[in-house]
Every structure is written in structure tokens, then in C-alpha cells.
Amino acid sequence: MNRFRRASSILGATIAATLVIAGCASGSTSTTDNTPITLTLATFNKFGYSDAMLAQYHTLHPNVTVVQNIAATSQAAQDNMFTKLAAGSGLGDVEAVEVDWMPKLKQYSNLFVDLTTSDTKSRWLDWKSASATVNGKLIGAGTDIGPEAICYRSEPFVKAGLAGDPAGVATLLTGDWNNYYSVGQQFAAKKTGVAWFDSAGATFQGLANQYQNFFEQNDGTVIATTNPDVKAAFTSVLNASATSSAHLQEWSTDWNAGMANGAWATMLCPSWMLGVISGNGPKITDWKIANVFPNGGGNWGGSYLTVPTQGKHTAAAKELALWLTAPEQQIAAFVTTGNYPSQVKAYTDPALTGAMNPYFNNAPIGQIFAARAQAVKVTPYKGVKYAAIMQAVQDGLTRVESKKQTIDASWAQVVSDIKALS
Amino acid sequence: MIRRAVVRWSGKEGTPRRLQVSQQLGRLDVKFSPYLFVSPFFVLFALVGLFPLVYTGWVSVHDWDLIGGEGNWVGISNFVFILQQRQFWIALRNTLSIFLLSAIPQLIVAIAIAAVLDTNLRNKTFWRMSVLLPFIVMPVAVALIFGSMFGERYGLVNTTLAQIGIGPILWHTDPLASQVAIATMVNFRWTGYNALILLAGMQAIPRDLYESAAIDGAGRLRRFFSITIPQLRPTMIFVIITATIGGLQIFDEPRLYDQIGLGGADQQWMTMTIYLYKLGWTQLNFGRAASVAWLLFLVIVVIGLANLAITRRIASSEST
């Protein structure tokens, strides 16, 4: 009995001592010393941060390993962000945020680290960094912007008797949206078996981003239900989609499959869409890019990298975010998946100006998107309710596209849904 | 050790005036230890059941931002707002519809499967385990795969149906079709589980009932409907109540059925939990979400009480 007691008490003391020592060791991890840490980089869709790039960061900072988690869509990333912000934990060390829901986050700027350094002063386009600044605090490091061109498939164009080369298509589509729709109707009349554009929803985004105050006034007042431009855009896109649309809701599994099967001939192409097209349709060989956009130009999307304060290694995460958004890295991302830089220094870099994309039949993407970015005249104002209003309108477009409702009935429901948001 | 005897005897008939300490402890033990033994359940319930209920009620009477925190007291105005929303009533309709579409076929198929498993099969254990396989697949994985299979243009189901000449069913556009698809996912997951529970109930039925019925000339089907089903009533009540509570709260399947996860452009498959999520986590209006949560709780209580009333009636008429 005594021997057992002695043995068990020695064992207990040893275990206790081990736990205490282990506990002491896992205390603070300062970022100035070289304790190995793992940073989680949470992005969505395609940011162009290849494994090679992350390995390069590891070579520069040997104690830091970067793990990338990629959400399927911006919507999924948004849901995750707000859920985990409310929970107080669970976010990655660096989180990507899209411009459409950045205003929602700006209300909670105290939950994000200030990314200002001596480097950041004039790194980005003014409007880009202004959209992520709250009372002088920069909460988002700009990654890309989304200057839009038109991507098209040359085989259906040729089959329909239209010009198939990029210059010819650019001439054909120069003009306003009515011109885009009427060329679409000519195309549809030729019955190539392929639709003109993918969905009313995606096309509507192109229209929405060409107005300064589409859904909201600069002070945040919601004008979506009364702004005649919104109703006009809604109606015109749906009228066109009756003959021209593939009726596949953007980002759905059917849309992905449709892209793989080449179900439509043109689509609005912000620079980040290049990676989506090439990723979804590896077997399609006739995608090309026309240096044109209805009504001149527009910007769709563009993202930021943020560092939530709930992370364990915020200083190291800030370094990573600022490195990834440096001009050199953004150019590398552009070459990989087409994410056009928002960094001013990148625009004069020969790596950018001379870039070509082999999937798009060697399109000179550097020149095309530089020209498209120049053509952007309007920076739309996006307020706190922008994402929710856009979702309500997108639902309205889907309802009409899937033939559930007439345009007027659907618009009435959109109006009541928007009113219920407040 | 010698305990001091505190017992005193007065006279010949001993009337113990005070008990020994150990006897006092014994009395306390008998009186209070049952409560201590069941207290872990109540403590746990208070923590994860009662407290969230009360806290959600507290949130629902305030104007509460999900991340910003508690705002002003608004009384019942969140409830009034919700009850006037078209989307709330559609969510309620969808929830009840999906529940019925999943619970009823599930139970029927589960009883049939249990009856088959109860017979003299070879490799009984293998069959009984494989019936449970769909249950161990993660609901998220099932929802993603089924959501893609039920794609309208390129989904597996529609392409297969097209080959036998049935036109494309609008799995994501038509409310009933989308609810059938979601009910299919729920049935896929829970039928095997319920079959095993019903199997356990079936195996508790005394075999001599079957023997005497067989002697009287009852066929297999007759024995099934006249002996098995009535004897299974308690198990079925349990299965129905758990299916009700679970079925009114399904979230994973409708959420992952499409890429947006808010129940469809016209709220075709938006259940109450999805509506709750929409209000609380996409509109960041925690107060309204909490009021939907409480309304869902009341709906479940009402349906549970209705369940109880009906099954008591059946049970009491049974016992006559």
C-alpha cells in the first residue's frame, strides 16, 4: 500500500511539473524574436497568391509560414468575416475584403489594425486607399482594382458572321449599353447555339458601377428605390436578357459548368475575372479580350487585405499584408490570375506593361487593362447597405430570369425588400 | 477511533433523542443525494439551454447590432416588425413544408427498412451498419454534392431524367421542387438512423405474439400491420418528436443548396433558421434575429404540444 502510494505521488508530481514547464514555454510569442509562427491568409475566389509567392515570403522571413485558405466566393468570405467578428475569434491573421462590403466593416474599424506606415502614404490610387480609411486610420491595404473589358469567344462570333479579332470586336461594341444589347440581338438571331451573355445579374453589375450615387447618397441615405437610373438599368438588362442571356446565376454550380461548356459568347470582364474564366474552362481555346466597354469604362470590384485585431500575431500579419500588396507582388498576381494592381508604382513597371496572357490567345493584358483603367471616370459611392441592396436587386433579376415573375412584379418586391432593410 | 455514543436511553422503552453523527449523515445522504445525482443534467441545461433562451429574449427586446452590441430598449417592436414581414410567413410555410416532406416519407421508409432488418438476414450486422452510413457523412458535404446534383441545367439528376424523357425539373427555381430536393437530403441522412431506432423497438416486441398470430393464420403483412405497428407506438412517438424538433430547425442543407445560401431569390427554400441567419448575420440586426429565434421556439412548443395531445389520445385509446 505504501509503495503504491509513493509511486503514484511521484508520478503525479512529475506530471504536474511537466505541465507547469510546458505552460511557461507557450507564453508570449513576440514577433521581434524568431519563434516560428504560422500565419493564416484568408482570401476568396482568385487573388493570384501562388504557392511560389508564399514560399518566397518564407525565404525572406524564415520563421513565418503562410497558409492560405481560399473561400469559394466573396459572399462566403463576407459571411465568415461577420460571423467571426461577432464571435471574437476564428478569423485568419490576414483577411481579404471586397470593396462592396468594406463600408460595412468600416463601422467596426476598431476591430482592425492600422496598416499605415511610411511606405503606405502614396502606394495606392487615392480613391482606393480612401475607401479603406476611417478617420485617418488605414484598415485595408489595397490589392487589385477591377477595370472592365469585354471577354468574348471568337468561334461563335465568326459563326454569326461578326468580326472575330479583338480590334474588330472593340469597334463593334464601342458605344453604350443599347449598342451592346442590339449587337447581342443580332447575334442571337443567328442561332449559334450559344447565348450572348451569362446572366442579367452579372451584366447589371457593369451598369451599377458606372454611377456615382446608384443606391446611396454620399451621406448613406438609401435612394435605390427612387433613383430612376436603378429602375431603368433593371428594366433594360432584363429586356435584353430575354433573348441574349444564358440565364445562369453568377457563381452557381450551373454557371461554373456553363463556363466549362462555353455556354455564352461574351461577358463583362473585370481583370480578376480572367483567372475565373481560365480556371473554369481549361478546355476552351477561343476566349479573347476586346479593349472596349459599353459607355466607355467601369470598375467592378477590387479588394483589400485587412488585419483583424483578434489575431495572435498582428505585427507579423501587418508585415505580410503590406508585402503582398507591394507593387512587385501584385504584378506577379496579375500575371498569374489577372488581378490588376491598384499600386501606382506598378503602372510604369515593364513587367506589367508587357504582360501577356496565353490562355486568352496572348492578349496583351497589361496594355488592355491599363487603357480600361484610364477609361474609368466614376468611383461609385458604396455605403453600409450597398451589399444588402445589391443582393436584393440581384434576387429580383434572378426571379425574372428564371421566369417566376414579370419585371414590374419583381421590381415591386425588390422595393419592399430594400425598405425592410432599415 | 471511538465515537462518542450520543444515544441516551431513558427508561425501558428507548426513545433516541439524538442520532449519531454518522446516522445523521446517512439520513441526509438518502434525502439529498438523488438530487445531486441528477443535478449535472440541470446544471448543463441551465448553462446551454435555459441561459441562451433567456439571453435571446433579452436581445430580442433591444435594438442590437451583431458586432456593435446592445442598443436601446425597443420592447416588442422587433416582434411586430417580423410578424409583418412577408418573408417571415414564407419562411414559416417553407419550414413546415420541408418538415412534412422529410418526416413522413422518412418514417415510412424507416419502418420498412427496420422490418426488413428484423428478419433473418445473413450478415445482419453488416446490413445494420451500412444503413447508418449516410448518417456519418457530414451534412455540409451532402448539401454541397446534392446542391450540385440538383443543378437545373447541368446537374446529374436532370441529365439523367432527360435521358428517360422527363423534362428539366426546376430544382432551384420552383419552391416545391427545391423543397423536395432538400427533404431528400434530410431523408438521406436520417432514414437509416431512425430505422435503427425502430429496429430496436421492434426487437423488444415479444415473439410469441407473432407465433400465436401465425398459428391463427395471419400472413406476414397482416402480422406487420396488426402487431408490429401498434407495438411500436412508444418508439414511433419518440422518433416523431425528435424528427419534429430537428426538422423545424434544419439549417445546413438549405444553406449550402446554392452559392448564396439565403434560401433562393424568391425565398423558395428559405427556412426559419435561414431567415434568422439572414437578419442576424448579413443585415447584422441581432435584435430582429433573436425575435425570429423566439418565434421559432414558440412554434416548436406549439407543435410539440399538439404532438403530445395527439399521441396521448392514440395511446389512451390503445390501452382500452
Taking each helix axis from N to C terminus, what angle separates A228-244 and A386-401, rounded to the nearest 10 degrees? 40
Collect all residues of chain B within an 8 Å Cβ-Cβ radius of residue A76: 259, 261
Smallest CA-to-CA distance from A201 within A407, A391, A405, A416 is with: A391
- The backbone region for A162, taken as left when phi is positive above 0, alpha when psi lies in -120 to 50, beta otherwise, is beta
Contacts of A253 in chain B (CB under 8 A): 147-148, 151, 154-155, 259
Backbone angles phi, psi at A69, to 5 degrees: -110, 125
- Are A349 and A326 a contacting pair, CB within 8 Å? no
Q: What is the pLDDT of residue B318?
A: 54
Cα B47 to the center of its chain, rounded Å:
20
Task: Give the domain A37-145+302-353 fold.
Answer: D-Maltodextrin-Binding Protein; domain 2 (3.40.190)
Q: What is the mean pLDDT of residues A282-294?
A: 96
Residues sharing a CB contact under 8 Å with residue B192, sequence separation 6 or more, in sequence order: B110, B113, B131, B132, B133, B134, B135
Determine the distance in angstroms separating the CA of B24 from the nearest CA of chain A, rounded to an integer: 32
Rounded CA-CA distance B28/B251 in Å is 48
Q: Which of A86, A252, A396 sits opposite B259 (nearest CB)?
A: A252
Residue B81 CB burial class (10 angstroms; 0-12, 13-18, ≥19):
middle
pLDDT of residue A172: 96
CA B101, distance to chain mean position in Å, is 15
Q: In whole angstroms, what is the distance from residue B241 CA to residue A1 CA?
A: 54
Average pLDDT in the A142-170 region? Answer: 96
B307 interfacial to chain A (CB closer than 8 Å): no
Contact B258 A252 (CB under 8 A): yes
pLDDT for B12 beyond 60: no
d(CA B31, CA B37): 12
What CATH number does domain A147-300+362-419 carry, 3.40.190.10, 2.90.10.10, 2.70.98.40, 3.60.15.10?
3.40.190.10
Write down the ipTM of this complex. Answer: 0.85
User: For A152-177, what is the mean pLDDT?
Assistant: 96
pLDDT at B20: 83
Which residues touch B298 (CB under 8 Å, ≥6 apart)?
none
- Contact assignment for B266 to A258 by CB distance below 8 Å: no
Whether A253 contacts chain B with CB within 8 A? yes
Domain ranges of chain A: 37-145+302-353, 147-300+362-419
Q: How far is CA A87 from the centre of its chain?
A: 24
pLDDT number for residue B14: 54
Closest CA to B95 of B305, B306, B303: B303
Report the helix count and the strand count for chain B, using DSSP H and E. Answer: 16, 0
- Among chain B residues, CA nearest to A77: B260
Out of B67, B87, B172, the one facing A85 most closely (by C-beta) is B67
Three-state DSSP state, A193: coil
Give CATH for domain B80-318: 1.10.3720.10
- Spell out which residues of chain A touch residue B156, defining contact as CB-CB under 8 Å: none
| Confidence at B271, pLDDT banded by 50, 70, 90 | very high
Q: Is B152 on the interface with A (CB under 8 A)?
A: yes
**pLDDT single digits (tens) B187-209:** 999 999 999 999 999 999 999 99
pLDDT at A29: 43
Domain ranges of chain B: 1-60, 80-318
Residues linked to residue B73 through DSSP beta bridges, in sequence order = B62
Nearest CA in chain A to B88: A420
Q: Which residue of B has its CA nearest to A83?
A: B281
The whole-number pLDDT of residue B233 equals 87
Cα A82 to Cα B281: distance, rounded to the nearest angstrom: 7
Q: Quick one: pLDDT at residue A15?
A: 58
Give me the residue from A85, A251, A254 closest to B154, CB to CB.
A254
Chain A contacts of B146, Cβ < 8 Å?
A: none
The stretch B151-171 carries a mean pLDDT of 94
In chain A, which among 350-369 make CB contacts under 8 A with chain B?
A: none
Asked if A405 lies within 8 A of B260 by C-beta distance, the reply is no
Find how far residue B19's CA is from the centre of its chain. Answer: 51
If you write DSSP's letter for every residue of B293-312 in order, what string do you get? HHHHHHHHHHHHHHHHHHHH
C-alpha A357/C-alpha A335 separation (Å) is 7
pLDDT in tens, A5-27: 666 666 655 655 555 554 444 44
To 5 degrees, how large is the angle CA A302–CA A197–CA A332?
30
- For residue range A244-282, list pLDDT tens digits in order: 999 999 999 999 999 999 999 999 999 999 999 999 999
Our measurement of the distance from residue A282's CA atom to the centroid of its chain's CA atoms, rounded to an integer in Å, reads 21
What is the maximal distance between C-alpha atoms in chain B? 102
Cβ–Cβ under 8 Å, residues B205 and B228: yes
- Across the range B252-278, mean pLDDT stands at 95
> Is B266 within 8 Å of A405 when comparing Cβ atoms?
yes
pLDDT > 80? residue B31: yes
Rounded distance, CA B233 to CA B306, Å? 16
Residue B216's contacts (CB-CB under 8 Å, 6 or more residues apart) are none
pLDDT at A252: 93
Task: Supply the mean pLDDT for chain B.
Answer: 90
